[in-house]
Amino acid sequence: PMNFKKNFLLCVLIGSLFTSCELTEQQNIHQLVKQDTNEVFDRLVQIRRDFHEHPELAGKEKRTSNIIAEYLTHLGLEVKTGFAGHAVMGILKGGKEGGSIAWRADMDALPNIYGDNTSLSTQKSGKQHGCGHDVHMAIGLGIASVLAKNKEAISGTIYFIFQPEEETFTGAKKILHSDLFSKIHLDEIYALHVTDLPVGKIMVKPKEPFAYQKRIQLTFHNTLKKMEAATLYTQIRSQMLRKKPGGNPWELPMVFDAASGLNNLNTVFKDYLFLEENVAIESTEQQLHLKAYLYETDASNLEYIVPKIEAIIGNSKHKEKFISASFIQENPTVINKEALTKQAIQTLNDIYGTDTVVKAYGQIPYFNDDFCYFQETTPGVYFFLGGTDKDKGIRAMNHTPHFDVDEESIRIGVRSFSSLILERANKYGS
């Protein structure tokens, strides 16, 4: 019994030493990640500002692509261009055998419909980075910088995908259908979007972070007057509406509000259906068409939307003038792999503190991302990264007149997701 006790204690001691060494090694590598992020940060800010001053619309990202390819080449990555429009892929091979992890960053800018109110723009070219893709690219290049410097600690291969044409929802499909991409097998893929969270915060939601967006068309005989059509549409909106009490899910500025926003278990941005107030009414010689966007959070309800609208019209005084109802646009939506999302939250919180990542409980209307196409073939997670600092007067609410980003978000993004990718890659290590 005494020998058994001694042997048992010895095993416990040895096991604890191995665990301690493992933890120390993990802590050391993430200290290096933080240090390397800080070293490259100023350069990334310069790059982001250059992208911001030279925005390029979807399909026109030639200058942007060249800068990215040159930067990745300088890091020593294998770089692929000349596919899927102006797409760029950087390939980093780790020091050990393992799987394949991808990081995706989008590249295109938007038409300038508001006027750029940030202090960075010097060129008024009718284009602007009004959604933060300039920040996304800087973060992607930063992650590549940090991981290239620590590649001996990485198992497997990391693919950095810089994607054009996200705003037109076509770039991801072009990459997926390219000959180059067809030869790659990915185990996991990740992406982020900078938005109106406090800088330093990361938010993620398992499953759907966005509501399902559909565009519906209602067709009538042109004996229905436009004023009558507008009144009927108001009745349809009112009867179709589903929302939680205490707020309106179409009020986008409230989506990250502490009291009613996504990080609140009882958020008003959960379990809703609404049609946008604006409706396009178009008439031809024989027909009148109503076209409007709607947003639904529950995928199981989607098949019942058209029948419900048909029933409302069937009970109206205009039922004899009604011809048909159908969806004329219905893109897929981002769906985060649930188990992978939970593992990512745990990893980031373990490394950078328990409140680094906050879980979202609702879904954002109006927005979507063609990252969803990558997720159809590869398990993936899409994060939201805070870029707002209200004390500085910076509000990172995308696609709004005063959109701006606190550049400290670049440091947070590079540090956090370099660590995440490194940890996820090493899960596949031999």
For residue 388, the domain's CATH number is 3.40.630.10
Q: Is residue 5 part of a domain?
A: no
| Percentage of the chain exceeding pLDDT 90 | 86
Amino acid (one-letter) located at 70: E
315 has pLDDT over 60: yes
Kindly tell me the sign of the dihedral angle through the C-alpha atoms of 351, 356, 361, 363.
negative
Please give the residue range of the domain that contains residue 291. Answer: 212-329
Q: Give residue 124's pLDDT.
A: 55
Q: Which residues contact 386 (CB under 8 A, 6 or more apart)?
A: 194, 195, 196, 197, 198, 199, 200, 201, 202, 203, 396, 409, 412
Q: Quote the distance between the C-alpha of residue 393 and its chain's center.
A: 24
Q: Give residue 354's pLDDT.
A: 86
The alpha helices in 59-170, defined as continuous H runs, are: 62-74, 133-149
- How do strand 96-106 and strand 155-163 relate by DSSP bridges? parallel
Q: Outline where DSSP puts E strands in 122-267.
A: 127-128, 155-163, 188-198, 202-204, 212-221
Q: Give residue 224's pLDDT.
A: 97
8 Å CB contact between 284 and 290: no
- How do strand 287-296 and strand 380-388 relate by DSSP bridges? unpaired
Burial class (CB in 10 A: 0-12, 13-18, 19+), 113: exposed
From residue 235, give the alpha-carbon distance in Å to each of 104, 242, 244, 309, 368. Answer: 43, 14, 20, 10, 27
Q: Which two tokens stand for residue 283?
A: 């008439």
Give the chain's length. 430
d(CA 118, CA 120): 5
Q: Is residue 318 part of a domain?
A: yes
Are 203 and 224 members of one domain? no
Q: Give residue 20's pLDDT.
A: 44
| Percentage of the chain exceeding pLDDT 70 | 91
Are 126 and 265 members of one domain? no
Q: Is residue 334 part of a domain?
A: no
More confident residue, 430 or 354: 354
Q: Is residue 112 part of a domain?
A: yes
Q: Quote the distance between the C-alpha of residue 22 and its chain's center.
A: 33
For residue 217, the domain's CATH number is 3.30.70
Residue at a domain's end among 329, 352, 378: 329
Q: Give residue 12's pLDDT.
A: 46
Are 349 and 324 members of one domain? no
Q: Give residue 126's pLDDT.
A: 84
pLDDT band at 21 (very low <50, low <70, confident <90, very high): very low
Q: Give residue 388's pLDDT.
A: 96
Residue at a domain's end among 306, 329, 352: 329
The pLDDT tens digits of the residues spanning 349-364 come to: 999 998 899 999 999 9
pLDDT band at 17 (very low <50, low <70, confident <90, very high): very low
The pLDDT tens digits of the residues spanning 326-350 come to: 999 999 999 999 999 999 999 999 9
Amino acid (one-letter) located at 203: M
Q: Which two tokens stand for residue 94?
A: 């780790």
Q: Is residue 2 part of a domain?
A: no
Q: Is residue 16 part of a domain?
A: no
d(CA 103, CA 145): 13
Number of domains in the chain: 2
Are 421 and 351 members of one domain? yes
Residue at a domain's end among 329, 350, 374: 329
Least confident among 120-124, 157-161, 213-217? 120-124
8 Å CB contact between 427 and 94: no
Residues 291-308 as b/e (b if ≥16 CB within 10 A, e otherwise) read: bbbbbbbbeeeeeebbee
Are 196 and 241 members of one domain? no
Are 69 and 185 members of one domain? yes
Q: Give residue 19's pLDDT.
A: 44
Residue with tokens 């950095």: 160
Q: Quote the distance between the C-alpha of residue 254 and its chain's center.
A: 19
Q: Outline where DSSP puts E strands in 230-379.
A: 273-275, 280-283, 287-296, 322-329, 357-359
22 has pLDDT over 80: no
Q: Is residue 78 part of a domain?
A: yes
8 Å CB contact between 323 and 219: yes
d(CA 23, CA 229): 66
Question: Which has the closest alpha carbon to 229: 275, 277, 279?
Answer: 279
d(CA 81, CA 70): 11
Q: Which two tokens stand for residue 6?
A: 């001694």
Are 368 and 420 members of one domain? yes
d(CA 401, CA 118): 10
- How do strand 110-111 and strand 188-198 relate by DSSP bridges? unpaired
pLDDT band at 183 (very low <50, low <70, confident <90, very high): very high
Burial class (CB in 10 A: 0-12, 13-18, 19+), 315: exposed
Q: Is residue 192 part of a domain?
A: yes
Backbone phi, psi, residue 85, to 5°: 75, -120
